[in-house]
Amino acid sequence: MVFDKVKTIITEELGIDEDKIELNSDLSEDLGADSLDAIELIMEIEAEFDVEIDDNEAQNIKTVKDIVDYLEK
């Protein structure tokens, strides 16, 4: 499942307990990701899922659900 893989990546990148990551978690407000964290997270997701996330699309990613929705489309 995409959500589980994304949770694992977030856990590794941000050092957050996987139990605290929910689908509707906001990357900055709930998970404490700053702009550099967000860039590194996007890069790791691109590598893991073998996708290229356009910079404009990346700016619209605010929640874990945004990541999952992008990867599932």
Which domain range does residue 38 map to? 2-72
CATH number for position 48: 1.10.1200.10
Per the structure, the count of domains in the chain is 1
Q: What is the reported pTM?
A: 0.92
Catalytic residue among 17, 19, 26, 34: 34
Tokens representing 59? 């700016």
pLDDT, tens digit, 9 for 90 and up, residues 27-57: 999 999 999 999 999 999 999 999 999 999 9
- DSSP per-residue codes, 29-71: TTT---HHHHHHHHHHHHHHHT----HHHHHT--BHHHHHHHH
pLDDT, tens digit, 9 for 90 and up, residues 23-35: 999 999 999 999 9
Residue 50 annotated in active site: no
Look up residue 23 and give its amino acid.
L
Give the Cα separation of 34 and 48 in Å (integer). Answer: 21
Give the Cα separation of 44 and 20 in Å (integer). Answer: 20
